[in-house]
Amino acid sequence: MRREWECVHYYYYYAEESRQNQALYRDINRAANDEYQAIQYYSALANMAPNNQMKQTVLGIRQDEIRHLNAFSRSYNRLTGGYPDLTITAPPKSFREGVRESLKDEGKTPAFYRGIAARTTDQVTKRRFLEAAEDEARHEQLFRQIANQLGIRE
């Protein structure tokens, strides 16, 4: 009877671990896809910028997103052997709307990335997500500065 219980316990333990890993992989895929969409969105947003300073700020943020996409894709491949599913997104309707949306998105992202970092045991992936969380918090501040210059209130 004890041996049978050990087998059942072993099965449930590893089934739960597998579910947790699948959720982690889904979140890493989502993070990579979010970065891919941000790259597209910020390309369009930069082209709408009212001045060169704001354009360069958005392009700098876009460069960070490219780096994050590459890092997250490598982590996803390292953990799953596959590649993330990436989809396109609609461009912003205006620069003001794009800044407003970006400010919201960049504000939520650090917590999401820290959550991924907390759940992975892979130290490379953990470091990548913690570094990206710091970048995203900085991006929020940069978009906040742009919003203030444009007189956008949250």
| Domain 25-150 CATH (choose: 3.40.50.10800, 1.10.3470.10, 1.25.40.10, 1.20.1260.10) | 1.20.1260.10
CB 46 within 8 A of CB 62: yes
Tokens 């333990």, residue? 13
Contacts for 146 with CB less than 8 Å, ≥ 6 apart: 54, 57, 58, 99
In this predicted structure, the answer to whether residue 2 has a pLDDT above a threshold of 90 is no
Q: Each residue of 118-141: pLDDT tens digit? A: 999 999 999 999 999 999 999 999
**Per-residue pLDDT tens digits for 78-90:** 999 999 999 999 9
Q: Residue 5: pLDDT above 90?
A: no
Distance CA 46, CA 78 (A): 33
Task: Provide the pLDDT for residue 13.
Answer: 46
Q: What letter does residue 33 receive in the DSSP assignment? A: H
How many distinct helices (H) and strands (E) make up the chain? 4, 0
- Is the overall model pTM greater than 0.85, yes or no? yes
Domain ranges of the chain: 25-150
